[in-house]
Amino acid sequence: MGPDPAVAAVRLAVRRVLADLPQGALVLAACSGGADSLALAGALAFEAPRAGRPAGGVTIDHGLQHGSDERADAVVRTMAGLGLDPSGSIAVTVDGTGGPENAARDARYAALDDAAHRWGAVAVLLGHTQDDQAETVLLGLARGSGARSLAGMPSRFTRSGNVLYLRPLLDLDRATTRRACKAMGLDPWDDPHNVDPAYARVRVRHEALPALEKALGPGVAEALARTARMLRDDADALDEAAARAYADLEAPEDGYGAALRLEGLEDLPRAVRTRVLRMAALRAGSPPGTLAAVHVDAVDRLVTAWRGQRHVDLPGGLRALRRSGKLLFGPV
């Protein structure tokens, strides 16, 4: 008799991503102790030895709740009990810009980068599911931030030092990971932040998506995730075109984090030009979590509808302005 169907589904998803990785190299599971990442850790602990590769686990203590250090220690013991070696926790300080959610995410990824480098891991697996993807798409739609946000979270991406991150569970729903934990005898931790309506994602999860399911019928989360997959190829192609255009138009200027030649910029298709402008703002230091479409549109008007306006203020204490045939991005 085979494993529970939910366990089999999670294991198959992990097996598929392991097959594409170099043999013999360490793979880490990022595990918060919640159902999604705990099911991921359990599946990795099962599949990695059968693929002939070492596997470990890491949890991040954000220090945002009383007893978070004890919670992290419990997650480490669970991962070690599963056979993930090494298993450890990293305490971080959440004090970045762009709001508490962005600051926590930045601190978390920086810590995961560090763990991957120190332990020599070839990849870090993340437990985001189809439901997380649907929530991301709805949040992007609400911000009006374009096709890239509607394309949702990528199944793979790299960060500093070429750390590879993989999301094996994007085609599985949250109910499947919770069933898998139960079948594997794992007791997931329910983070109280996940039911706190102060967070936009929590409101989407517990209010917006259920309302859409009630109005439109079941399958909304799956449809949103499917839409994200279809849009990703388009967004990737536009981003590649924007990267080439940025390289052609870049014109460094002392005292500014980014500068572009105006000649040729206004002739770009809008879909490419706005990506170039966003890229310039980010390179100058504007936080990605707070740089919205309204900011990029205002900068675009400096290029295509300039009537002598002096500058555009951007998140992160930056501004964009025209001067001497260039569009400049720098501190206020």
DSSP 97-129: SS-HHHHHHHHHHHHHHHHHHHHTEEEEE----
Given a contact cutoff of 8 angstroms between Cβ atoms, the answer to whether 302 and 309 are in contact is yes
pTM of this prediction?
0.81
Q: Compute the average pLDDT of residues 206-217.
A: 94
Within a domain: 325: yes
Most confident of 104-108, 190-194, 238-242: 238-242
The CATH number of the domain where 139 resides is what?
3.40.50.620
Answer yes or no: do 182 and 263 share one domain.
no
Residue 235 lies in a domain: no
Where b means 16+ CB within 10 Å and e means fewer, 220-245 reads bbeebbebbeebbeebeebbebbeeb
| Mean pLDDT, rounded, for 269-287 | 96
Sign (positive or negative) of CA dihedral 122, 126, 127, 128: negative
On the question of pLDDT at 328 being above 70, the answer is: yes
Q: Is residue 226 part of a domain?
A: no
Residues 31 and 115 in one domain: yes
Mean pLDDT along residues 295-301 = 95
Q: What is the mean pLDDT of residues 223-235?
A: 90
Contact assessment for residue 136 and residue 152, using Cβ atoms and an 8 Å cutoff:
yes
Regarding whether 125 and 56 lie in a shared domain, the answer is yes
Domain match, 108 and 257 both: no
> Structural domain of residue 154, as residue ranges?
5-216
Choose the weakest-confidence range: 89-103, 123-137, 247-261.
89-103
Is 256 within the bounds of a domain? yes
Statement to judge: residues 276 and 186 lie in one domain: no
97 and 195 part of one domain: yes
Of 176, 143, 153, the C-alpha closest to 7 is 176
**One domain for residues 57 and 156:** yes
> Stretch 219-241: mean pLDDT, rounded?
91
Q: Is the model's pLDDT at 147 over the cut of 80? A: no
Asked whether residue 74 is assigned to any structural domain, the reply reads yes
Question: 161: how many CB neighbours lie within 10 A of its CB?
Answer: 9
**pLDDT of amino acid 285:** 95
Q: Which residue is it, tokens 């001497």?
A: 324
Whole-angstrom distance, CA of residue 198 vs CA of residue 175: 24
Same domain, 57 and 182: yes
- Is residue 243, in this structure, part of any structural domain at all? no
pLDDT of residue 177: 98
How far apart, in whole angstroms, are the C-alpha atoms of residue 138 and residue 223? 12
234: enclosing H helix or E strand: helix 220-249
83 lies in the same domain as 152: yes
User: Is residue 89 pLDDT above 70, yes or no?
Assistant: yes
- Give the pLDDT band (50/70/90) at residue 188: very high
**DSSP conformational letter for 194:** G
Last residue of a domain, one of 200, 216, 232: 216
Same domain, 272 and 140: no
Quick one: pLDDT at residue 97? 61
Q: Please tell me the predicted confidence (pLDDT) of residue 165.
A: 97
Shared domain for 210 and 290, answered yes or no, is no
Q: Write down which residue in 216, 233, 260 finishes a domain.
A: 216
Question: Can you tell me the distance from the alpha carbon of 137 to that of 146, in angstroms, rounded to the nearest whole number?
Answer: 10
**Count of Cβ atoms closer than 10 Å to residue 62 Cβ:** 22
pLDDT of residue 145: 61
Question: Nearest-CA neighbor of 166 among 153, 157, 174?
Answer: 157
Q: Is residue 230 part of a domain?
A: no
Last residue of a domain, one of 168, 190, 216: 216
Which tokens hold the place of 86?
A: 């090494």
58 in a structural domain: yes
Quote the pLDDT of residue 289: 74
Number of domains in the chain: 2
Greater model confidence, 180 or 227: 180
Task: Reply yes or no on whether the pLDDT at 63 is more than 80.
Answer: no
Q: The domain that contains 256 carries what CATH number?
A: 3.30.465.60
d(C-alpha 132, C-alpha 16), whole Å: 20
Mean pLDDT along residues 299-306: 95
The answer on 96 and 37 residing in a single domain is yes
